[in-house]
Amino acid sequence: MNREFGIVYNSKYSNVKNPPNHPLQGSRYLKSIEFFEEIGLLSMPNIKLIDPEPATTDEILLAHTKDHLELVKRLSEIGKGQFDHDTPAYKGIYEVALLTTGGSLTAMRSILRGDVECAMNLSGGFHHAKPDQARGYCIFNDVNILGTILLNSGIQRVLYVEIDAHFGDGTYHFYKESPKFFTLSFHESGESLYPYYDDHLFGEGEGYGYHVNVPLPIWTDDNAFLYAFRSIFLPVVSSFKPEFIIFQSGVDGHCRDWQSHLLLTKRVYQEVARFIRNVMDSNKTKLIVLGGGGYDPMAAALCWASMINELADLQLNLTGYDDECEKEPYENVNTMEKIEQIVDGLSPFLSPEKPSR
Ligand SMILES: [Zn+2]
């Protein structure tokens, strides 16, 4: 099947002006696009480059307070200040944030209009931002805005699945009481990685049981990750029956990316994308993909290309491009055994009957 696949991107995504030692640099977007060009991805007939429209202030206010929006605008004008210890302001950050957030909304609209079957915002997936605060490199939470628009449009069941190395706490807390917006998060455990959250969060009130976290131990490798993904993603899909999937495809769990202690390679990203594509094909589920984390530009480019290759069914041969892993476990951990225990513990949450507390 030759599906139409949109890549939402504009060279202004690279206008990020964090200090040189900050992990998030605008170069990752440009490097990715250059790599896509090099491997022929952009010239495939079913790939469409889509220009992002900046988000409007009304759209931002769907998931944020007016005070937060005004603060971002003000610090952007003066060009200095900090939102939190690792989220600095710079001149123009407001415009960059509106454009990268708007890119996710552009991707959604192009799918809903039927221009493409599936679209990826090369930026977006800013899952740490809270309604009243920018945090963890995230200024506006595009996931929360997307979810609000989709649910307001009458869609009953949205599945948000993230494979970013970090737990999307800003999105979890926004939706924890909702049984219509399922959050499924595969991330490095809060014991060893930001945002250092309790790993056992399953939602609250009516939302209890509609939120599942899979806290991966340090040095989780491809086999252990794929075991967890396979064991949990498919049961969640068959019990929740999503109409729409938002996939936050952060690649900072890659074995070259020093933002995490995970050892994943392009194989994981390829296989995860294949699982998701199969769900789209068999259930006619709509899919939007958001970039998310990924701080080694070459690894990010390779992983995102591997995912698009599967999702758009391009059949490009990427065997000549290696992962060039750099991380070495400095501790011996039997990750597979730990992951089997985690998966067993989550089994009550994988059926349509939700467990009682
Ligand atoms: Zn991350």
First to last CA, the chain: 44
Ligand 1 centroid distance, CA of 96 (Å) = 19
| DSSP-derived secondary structure letter, 1 | -
Ligand 1 centroid distance, CA of 308 (Å) = 19
- In the prediction, which pLDDT does 98 show? 98
- In the prediction, which pLDDT does 353 show? 82
| pTM of the shown model | 0.97
Q: pLDDT tens digit string along 179-226?
A: 999 999 999 999 999 999 988 899 999 999 999 999 999 999 999 999
Do the bridges between strand 244-248 and strand 286-290 make them parallel or antiparallel, or are there none, so unpaired? parallel
Query: Cα–Cα distance between 64 and 71 in angstroms, integer?
Result: 11
- In the prediction, which pLDDT does 351 show? 81
Q: Quote the percentage of the chain above a pLDDT of 90.
A: 91
Assess whether pLDDT exceeds 70 at residue 1: no
Do the bridges between strand 158-162 and strand 181-188 make them parallel or antiparallel, or are there none, so unpaired? parallel
Ligand 1 centroid distance, CA of 200 (Å) = 19
Which is higher by pLDDT, 334 or 180?
A: 180
Question: What is the rounded average pLDDT for all residues in the chain?
Answer: 95
Q: pLDDT tens digit string along 281-326?
A: 999 999 999 999 999 999 999 999 999 999 999 999 998 898 999 8
Q: What does the DSSP assignment read for 153-196?
A: TT---EEEEE-SSS--HHHHHHHTT-SSEEEEEEEE-TTTSTT-
- In the prediction, which pLDDT does 2 show? 60
What are the tokens at 161? 């699945």
> Which residues are paired to 264 by β-bridges?
254
Single-letter residue type at 244: F
- Which residue do the tokens 């390829």 mark? 270
Q: pLDDT tens digit string along 21-68?
A: 999 999 999 999 999 999 999 999 999 999 999 999 999 999 999 999
| DSSP-derived secondary structure letter, 138 | B
What are the tokens at 286? 């709509």
Ligand 1 centroid distance, CA of 134 (Å) = 15
Ligand 1 centroid distance, CA of 213 (Å) = 15
Count of alpha carbons within 13 angstroms of residue 109, beta-carbon side? 13
Domains of the chain: 5-349 (3.40.800.20)
Length of the chain in terms of residues written: 357
3-class state of residue 299 by DSSP:
helix
Q: What does the DSSP assignment read for 262-287?
A: --B-HHHHHHHHHHHHHHHHHH--EE
Ligand 1 centroid distance, CA of 166 (Å) = 4
Ligand 1 centroid distance, CA of 164 (Å) = 5
Query: Cα–Cα distance between 345 and 2 in angstroms, integer?
Result: 39
Q: CA distances (Å), 117 to each of 5, 153, 219, 287, 292, in order?
A: 6, 18, 35, 8, 21
Which is higher by pLDDT, 287 or 330?
A: 287
Ligand 1 centroid distance, CA of 51 (Å) = 25
Q: Give the confidence band of 345 by pLDDT, cuts at 50, 70, 90.
A: very high
Single-letter residue type at 19: P
Contact 98, 4 (CB under 8 A): no
Nearest to 67 by CA among 119, 134, 4: 134
Ligand 1 centroid distance, CA of 357 (Å) = 30
Query: Cα–Cα distance between 47 and 38 in angstroms, integer?
Result: 15
